[in-house]
Amino acid sequence: MVEEKKQQVQGVFYTQTEEEVLSNLGTAVEGLSDAEAKKRLASYGANQLDEGKTKSLFVKFLEQFKDFMIIVLMAAAIISGFFGDVTDAVIIMLVVVVNAILGVFQEAKAEQAINALKMMSSPHARVKRDGHVVTLKSEELVPGDIILLEAGDVVPADVRFLEIASLKIEEAALTGESVPVEKSMNKIEDAEVGIGDRTNMGFMNSNVTYGRGIAVVVGTGMNTEVGKIADMLATADETKTPLQENLNQLGKYLTIAILVVAAVMFVVGINGGKEAIDMLLTSISLAVAAIPEGLPAIVTIILALGTQKMAKRNAIVRKLPAVETLGSTEIICSDKTGTLTLNQMTVEKVFVNGTLQDASEAIDTTLPIVQIMTLSNDTKISSDGSLIGDPTETAMVQFSLDKGLDVNGLNTSEPRVGEVPFDSDRKLMSTINELSTGGYQIATKGAPDELLKRCTHYVVNGEVKPMDQEMHALILATNHNLAKQALRVLAMAYRQVDAIPAEMDSEVVEQELIYAGMIGMIDPERPEAKDAVATAREAGIRPIMITGDHRDTAQAIATRLGIVEEGNDDAVITGAELNELSDEEFATAVTKYSVYARVSPEHKVRIVKAWQKKGKIVAMTGDGVNDAPALKTADIGIGMGITGTEVSKGASEMVLADDNFSTIIVAVEEGRKVFSNIQKSIQYLLSANLGEVLTLFIATMVGWTILTPVHILWINLVTDTFPAIALGLEPAEKDVMKQKPRGRNSNFFSNGVFPSIIYQGIIEGGITLGIYWWAITFPVHAGYDAAHLDASTMAFATLGLIQLFHAFNVKSIHGSLFSVGAFKNKSFNWAVLLSFVLLAATILVPGLNDAFNVAHLDSYQWLAVFVASFAIVPIVEIVKFFQRKLVK
Ligand code: ATP
């Protein structure tokens, strides 16, 4: 894009009045028209930060050759070409090029998958276009757009505020100041002030922690304050998963070991009278083939393919390592509302004037309880009559509407002039409304226990009385009684004042209130949650419920879902009780608790840490802006796709597109499958490599020329890759969710993979050497040369084929091949077929066999090759059979 076009409208917006800003940006409070926004998007570009230059295919291709061993191999091939072995040199180069192309393809595939993930989790913003509020991808914002912000949003661009209500924004990423900044509407006179002091502005990627606001976009993309420092931030993104890091480490050890073996082979070979250049090529080819430098790319592909599967099942993984960690999750801490329940609230019970009644019974809508629940409420009634807002609040408006209250009329006649927004720490919300009869009213609703602390009076049948012991006890008993029935209980209170409170602060506003009554709301459990809890338990995972709701409500629902046993009161703890425990005490006691009630977001961090101290891998869900620290602390932070705030999603490793607890279990299952499939790929590749190393090493020791460099490279670089990737697509084994989690200290060698690699490698090498020995000892063709060529060809075919047969064995690490379905994975079938064709072609295609220096085998020899190669299947089956017996 032409640089000029990217230029944003210039101006120091914080020194201008709102009107000046709007007119300078050619916009108005109703927002831009769609057509104008499109035009601006075309001229300013998308609202995103440049992510550095993407490399061209050619550069990626060249990068495949930066590996030292590959360079040495090519050099050796060229030298050998000079000494006359031109065909070999050409084929080696060809194999290296094919391998590089495969490498580019693999990397591109992994990159594509990661980009697709990024797209899925890209943030959204609420924007006014043509006078309507619409939700758009943040990338589509342009200067002049009017946006709406509230607690939990990530500021999507640089903005100037037009309207604010108690708005606080955390700008640590830009200013280093972690305490949220209180925003104001004041025009700033000094154009030179630092970012932190431009209090009437909001900056891209900062987090709204409190309140709400309306703002006009003044800068997008690279023209924002973060855009200016984006280069500094861009590099941090390329994280390696722990598994990939382990693999790199393993690669280093293997490289040393293989280089030693190759060096010994080289020396022994020359001493045995072989040509130095031949031995050099053989040793280097072995080193190139046996060092699993392609493994990290294969692992990335398997992880990335895993994320695609998860996305189809509503679990959107934002960070690749999460796939790996998910499979080892031991504790899942889940919010109740919306995750374990449907978050579809309906008022069931009303406690008013000292008596409890059914919600279906008639009620006078002029009663304070009804007025307060309607006024202290952010629900919007859309033009088609549907209710938009938080389900706890829409349920109350629905109740008022059902009882015949003119909700819009009430909101117009008693307009809101101030508010103290809801937050999950206080568990209260208040509005200040100007009364049609004169004066103002504070309308507060929230958790009964919290609200009661702030009530000095109560109202009954229109009469206001001082709060007494009796009423206090009755309110608490009724709350307890309703909560026991799994109802969410909210209380309402009010107070009349002469003037708007000077400060919109809980300490000022929510005091000396008059208690007006309570309502109990039902929020049904998600139908699939109970089964998901049972599956989790079977898989050795402990589900834990965390909620802001009352202890009794929480326990009742947890019991229904099977998270706690009936009547097990000891498994439930409240936030207040938790406050009494020191971190040490809590860390010892944490295993007791399965339900946390009336907790605040900061308790979540303590819960995660206590479990982590026990060495457990913890997943934690969260939706609010205050949940971000807990989401970050957890091994797997899980955000909510529908109800979650942008901030909480940004802090998560995974986002549930459907907010559903059972999706977590699905993701864990996928995670376990992916890990096990990676183990299979590793087992397959490393046992094959060991087989090759052993074959060549022993052959050299006894003076056999068993395989040429071309053979080794062909088998390892060309035919092995496809089955290794296809193993990553294996379906889950039947018992994945019946095993215990693998734990924090496990790695890809755990679960018997390491010994399997060793013995299977030995079998592969042993059979290959065996068939070679057999062929030279009992030659079909007379004469040493012909016999040798036949034997070498048979060894080549056997080593290749045995790996393809062995690929079937590793479909299950311990289970029988017959229990997993040998041909279920179609990609695997194709991969094995392709590898087989690539292998067979070198022997069968006239011309190619000359180039590959192999003989034409007769049917008798082919039969021997097949029987010998296939032998690995029954052998491994028998070993696995005894392994299973021993483990039991
Ligand atoms: P979780 O998803 O953790 O289960 P929750 O919905 O139970 O969350 P919060 O939303 O923090 O937790 O609610 C905690 C308590 O705050 C509720 O039990 C209720 O008493 C009160 N509350 C919830 N929503 C509102 C609201 N909009 N206005 C006033 N009080 C509310």
Q: What pLDDT digit, counting tens, does each position of 679-701 carry?
A: 999 999 999 999 999 999 999 88
For residue 491, what are the β-bridge partners? Answer: 446, 518
Last residue of a domain, one of 636, 659, 682: 659
Q: Which of 64-68, 381-385, 457-461 has the highest mean pLDDT?
A: 457-461
Q: Can you tell me the distance from the alpha carbon of 244 to that of 199, in angstroms, rounded to the nearest whole number?
A: 44
Nearest CA to ligand 1 atom 29: 446
Q: 10 Å Cβ neighbour count for 615?
A: 10
530 and 602 housed in the same domain: yes
Residue nearest to atom 3 of ligand 1 (CA): 547
Give me the CATH number covering residue 546. 3.40.50.1000
Average pLDDT, integer, range 230-245: 56
Per-residue pLDDT of 858-883, as tens digits, reads 899 999 999 999 999 999 999 999 98
Q: What percent of the chain has pLDDT over 70?
A: 95
Give the pLDDT score at 80. Answer: 77
The protein residue with its alpha carbon nearest to ligand 1, atom 12, reads 548
338 Cα nearest atom in ligand 1:
2
CA of 627 relative to ligand 1 center, distance in Å: 14
Residue 237, pLDDT > 70, answer no
Tokens representing 704 are 């056999």
pLDDT at 86 over 90: no
Could you tell me the end-to-end alpha-carbon distance of the chain, in angstroms, rounded to an integer?
66
User: What residues contact 197, with CB distance under 8 A and at least 6 apart?
Assistant: 188
For residues 599 and 694, what is the distance between their CA atoms, to the nearest angstrom? 60
CATH of the domain at 389: 3.40.1110.10
Q: Which amino acid is at 92?
A: I
Q: Which two tokens stand for residue 865?
A: 């090759």
The Cα 226–Cα 233 span in angstroms is 9
Q: Is it the case that residue 236 has pLDDT exceeding 50?
A: no
Does residue 149's CB lie within 6 angstroms of at least one atom of ligand 1?
A: no
CA 393 to each of CA 375, 435, 745, 862: distance values in angstroms, whole numbers, following the listed order:
10, 22, 46, 76
Q: Which of 181-185, 319-323, 517-521, 796-800 has the lowest mean pLDDT?
A: 319-323
Ligand 1 neighbourhood includes 595 CB (under 6 angstroms): no
Instruction: Please tell me the predicted confidence (pLDDT) of residue 805.
Output: 97
Closest-CA residue, ligand 1 atom 2, reads 337
pLDDT in tens, 347-363: 999 999 999 999 999 99
Domain assignment present for 292: no
Query: Rounded to an integer, what distance in angstroms lies between the CA atom of residue 656 and that of residue 640?
Result: 5
Q: By mean pLDDT, which of 273-287, 460-474, 858-872 is the weakest?
A: 273-287
Residues constituting the chain: 888
The pLDDT of residue 10 is above 70: no
Task: Quote the domain boundaries for residue 96.
Answer: 57-108
**For position 234, what pLDDT does the model report?**
47
Say yes or no: 485 and 552 in one domain: no
Q: Would you say residue 247 lies in a domain?
A: no
Q: Are residues 729 and 638 in the same domain?
A: no
How much is the mean pLDDT over the chain?
89
Q: Ligand 1 centroid to 297 CA: how many Å? A: 45
The whole-model pTM stands at 0.84
Same domain, 143 and 64: no
Residues 101 and 137 occupy one common structural domain: no
Does the residue 290 lie in any domain? Answer: no
DSSP-based three-state secondary structure for 466: strand
Structure confidence by residue, pLDDT tens digits, 140-190: 999 999 999 998 899 999 999 999 988 999 888 778 777 899 999 888 888
pLDDT exceeds 80 at position 107: no
Residue 114 banded pLDDT, cuts 50, 70, 90: low
Examine the pLDDT at 536 and tell me if it is beyond 90.
Answer: yes
Q: Is the CB of 493 under 6 A from ligand 1?
A: no
Tell me which of 196-200, 201-205, 489-493, 714-718 is least confident: 714-718
Instruction: Supply the angle between the helices 661-702 and 753-777 in degrees, to the nearest 10.
Output: 30
Residue 759, pLDDT > 90, answer yes
Separation between Cα atoms, residue 545 and residue 286, nearest integer Å: 55
Nearest CA to ligand 1 atom 19: 447
Please report whether residue 259 resides in a domain.
no
Q: Is 776 in the same domain as 853?
A: yes
Going by the DSSP 8-state scheme, the letter that residue 563 receives in this structure is: S
What does the block give as tokens for 809?
A: 């064995």
CA atoms within 13 A on the CB side of 245: 8
Closest approach atom of ligand 1 to CA 546: 3
Compute the average pLDDT of residues 487-496. Answer: 97
Pick the atom of ligand 1 nearest to 489's CA. 20
Coil/strand/helix, residue 134 = strand
Q: Which of 212, 337, 519, 627 to mutate to test the pocket of ligand 1 (most atoms within 8 A of CB)?
A: 337
pLDDT score at 295: 78
**Pocket lining: 390 vs ligand 1, CB cutoff 6 Å:** yes
pLDDT value at position 232? 55
Last residue of a domain, one of 470, 494, 522: 522
Percent of the chain with pLDDT over 90: 60
- For residues 326 and 365, state if they share a domain: no
Q: Crossing angle for the helix pair 469-484 and 551-561, nearest 10 degrees?
A: 10
**Is residue 325 within 8 Å of 636, Cβ to Cβ?**
yes
Q: Is the pLDDT of residue 814 over 80?
A: yes
Shared domain for 354 and 499, answered yes or no, is yes
With respect to residue 304, please indicate whether it lies within any of the assigned structural domains.
Answer: yes
Confidence (pLDDT) at 2: 36
Same domain, yes or no: 303 and 419: no
| Dist CA 652 CA 623 (whole Å) | 10
CA distance 109 to 431: 53
Q: Within a domain: residue 819? A: yes
Output the pLDDT for position 238.
Answer: 47
pLDDT at 235: 43
From residue 838, alpha-carbon distances to 686, 721, 834 in Å are 21, 12, 6
Shortest-distance Cα residue to atom 7 of ligand 1: 548
Cα separation, 730 vs 67, whole angstroms:
30
pLDDT at 3 over 50: no
List CB contacts of 256: < 8 A, sequence separation 6 or more: none
Are 334 and 377 members of one domain?
no
For residues 486-508, give the mean pLDDT.
94
Question: DSSP letter string over 28-89?
Answer: -TT-B-HHHHHHHHHHH--S-----PPPPHHHHHHHTT-SHHHHHHHHHHHHHHHTT-HHHH
Instruction: Find residue 334's DSSP bridge partners.
Output: 545
- What 3 state SS string does 404-457 have? CCCHHHHHHHCCEEEEEEEECCCCEEEEEEECCCCCEEEEEEECHHHHHCCEEE
Report the number of distinct structural domains present in the chain: 5
Are 210 and 168 spatial neighbours (Cβ–Cβ below 8 Å)?
yes
Cβ–Cβ under 8 Å, residues 836 and 804:
yes
CA of 424 from ligand 1 middle (Å) equals 6
List 335, 423, 552, 790, catalytic entry: 335
Locate all alpha helices (DSSP H) within 778-825, ordered by sequence.
784-809, 817-820
CATH number of the domain at 881, please: 1.20.1110.10
Does residue 298 have a pLDDT over 70? yes
Residue 341 has what DSSP assignment? B
Choose one of 659, 687, 703: the last residue of a domain.
659
DSSP state of 205: T
Q: Name the residue among 557, 549, 548, 554 with its Cα closest to residue 572.
A: 554
3-state secondary structure 480-535: HHHHHCCCEEEEEEEEEECCCCCCCCHHHHCCCEEEEEEEEEECCECCCHHHHHHH
Which atom of ligand 1 lies nearest, measured to the CA of 553?
18
Half-sphere exposure at residue 130, Cβ-oriented, CA atoms within 13 angstroms: 7
Enter the tokens of residue 430: 């208040």
Q: Average pLDDT for residues 87-109, to the nearest whole number? A: 82
**7: pLDDT strictly greater than 60:** no
Q: How many A from CA of 865 to the centre of ligand 1? A: 70
604 lines ligand 1 (CB under 6 A): no
Q: Does residue 279 form part of some domain?
A: no
> What b-and-e string marks burial along 119-153, b requiring 16 or more CB atoms within 10 Å of the CB?
eebeebbbbbbeeeeeebebbbbbbbbbbbbbbbb
Binned at pLDDT 50, 70 and 90, residue 398 comes out as very high
Tell whether the model's pLDDT for residue 421 goes beyond 60: yes
Helix (H) or strand (E) holding 857: none
The Cα 184–Cα 377 span in angstroms is: 24
Domain for residue 260, yes or no? no
Q: What is the four-CA torsion angle of 648, 651, 654, 656, rounded to 10 degrees? A: 0
Q: Are residues 462 and 578 both part of a single domain?
A: no
**DSSP secondary structure, 143-200, as one string:** TT-EEEEETTPBP-SEEEEEEEEEEEEE-HHHHS--SPEEP--PPP--TT--GGG-TT
Same domain, 689 and 830: yes
Mean pLDDT, residues 32-61: 86
Q: Is the dihedral of CA 474, 480, 486, 488 positive or negative?
A: positive
Mean pLDDT, rounded, for 704-708:
88
Q: Is 34 a catalytic residue?
A: no
The upper half-sphere exposure of residue 882, i.e. CA atoms within 13 Å in the direction of its Cβ, equals 6
**Mean pLDDT for the stretch of residues 616-622:** 95
pLDDT of residue 6: 39
Alpha helical stretches, state H, 313-427: 321-326, 368-375, 391-402, 407-413
- Pick 283 or 516 by higher pLDDT: 516
* Torsion sign, CA atoms 51, 56, 61, 62: negative
Alpha carbon of 564 to ligand 1 centroid (Å)? 22
The pLDDT assigned to 121 comes to 66
Which of 631, 552, 564, 640 shows the shortest CA–CA distance to 597? 552
